[in-house]
Structure 1
Amino acid sequence: MKVSRHAKIVELINQYNIETQEELAEQLNKAGFQVTQATVSRDIRDLRLTKVAGENGKQKYVILQVPEKDMKEKYMRILKDGYVSMEMAQNILVVKTVSGMAMAVAASIDSMQWYEVVGCIAGDDTIMCAVRSTEETKIVMEKIRKIVL
């Protein structure tokens, strides 16, 4: 739940100019996440959000850039925590995840910037990854296995 909530927070702050914790909590509640101000405060700290001057001098939350190594480890952890199974359908890799984690796991796979993966589409618990070829799908499956096992 926390990982999917974090993914939603990132989506919301990229989509809207959110100025306060209260606004963020309101947007999360509208999106189906029942959160308190304390939860939002912890999430802001966990995600290393910071405020910057936006349009008209108003403040808005943005993600504080963290070193790429730290992010890669975080994405690998998300992939490992959310992964359930995978199956190959020629050059399409279908990845099953814990319910509600597909978007976060897809973002993790995309963040690996594997040449073989053209892109991922995520639902609630299923991801479809377009891979360049059938042979390269096997390579991607092996890369994922090394992370999740």
Structure 2
Amino acid sequence: MKENRHSIILDIIKNEDIETQEDLADRLRAKNINVTQATVSRDIKELNLIKTLSHTGRYKYAQVNTNNNSTISALAYIFSNTAISVEKVDKILVVRTITASAQVAAEAIDSFKLEGIAGTIAGDNTIFILVRTDEKAEELKLEIEKLIK
């Protein structure tokens, strides 16, 4: 059942510009697949879907290439083009991004496997990065600033 739903999701995002989880859930329901927002959210994570800019200038879901090196390169590119600023507050870094891109930018940060990061939390346009030490937070801030520029 899950595999079938995943296959249908991939088909939908390949053929349509799906901007939100709600849009995706609606498209699935139109195909007689009952889903909750939580199920759609898990499916998006399991399928490694990210939001990318469509040719219309709006965001849409797309699948990340599963080749690890190309994925990291793509995420680095996305991060550098969506992150706006970084601020250090004690051992927390606050990264501001363009609207609707914080989650993919946080995924990029996680994929870099930077030393000293305890974890990341992303909203719509803000990422909180908890760093283990104040010194490491300052180092990471400088690294992130370089990526943004």
Give the structure-1-normalised TM-score: 0.62
Gaps of 5+ in 1: 1-12, 49-64
- For residue 38 of structure 2, what is the aligned residue in structure 1? none
Which of residues 7, 16, 19 is equivalent to 2:7? 19
In the alignment, structure 1 residue 31 sits paired with structure 2 residue 21 = yes
| Cα separation, 1, equivalents of 2:124 and 2:104 | 10
Q: State the Cα distance separating 1:19 from its structure 2 match.
A: 2.2
Residue 19 of structure 1 aligns with an amino acid whose one-letter code is S
In the alignment, structure 1 residue 93 sits paired with structure 2 residue 83 = no
- For residue 70 of structure 1, what is the aligned residue in structure 2? 70
In the alignment, structure 1 residue 120 sits paired with structure 2 residue 116 = no
Residue 94 of structure 2 aligns with an amino acid whose one-letter code is V
Q: State the Cα distance separating 1:122 from its structure 2 match.
A: 0.5
Residue 108 of structure 2 aligns with an amino acid whose one-letter code is S
| Cα separation, 2, equivalents of 1:136 and 1:128 | 15
Gaps of 5+ in 2: 28-53, 55-60
In the alignment, structure 1 residue 144 sits paired with structure 2 residue 132 = no
**Distance change >3 Å, CA 75–CA 47, structure 1 → 2:** closer
RMSD: 3.3
Q: State the Cα distance separating 1:146 from its structure 2 match.
A: 2.2
**Distance change >3 Å, CA 137–CA 71, structure 1 → 2:** same
**Distance change >3 Å, CA 91–CA 23, structure 1 → 2:** closer
| Cα separation, 2, equivalents of 1:71 and 1:30 | 22
Q: State the Cα distance separating 1:116 from its structure 2 match.
A: 1.4
Residue 101 of structure 2 aligns with an amino acid whose one-letter code is M
Which secondary structure does the structure 1 equivalent of 2:108 belong to? helix
Query: Percent same amino acid at aligned positions?
Result: 23
Task: Point out 4+ residue stretches in structure 1 off by more than 3 angstroms.
Answer: 22-26
**Distance change >3 Å, CA 139–CA 23, structure 1 → 2:** closer
1:18/1:24 contact within 8 Å kept? no
| Cα separation, 1, equivalents of 2:13 and 2:82 | 28
Give the structure-2-normalised TM-score: 0.62
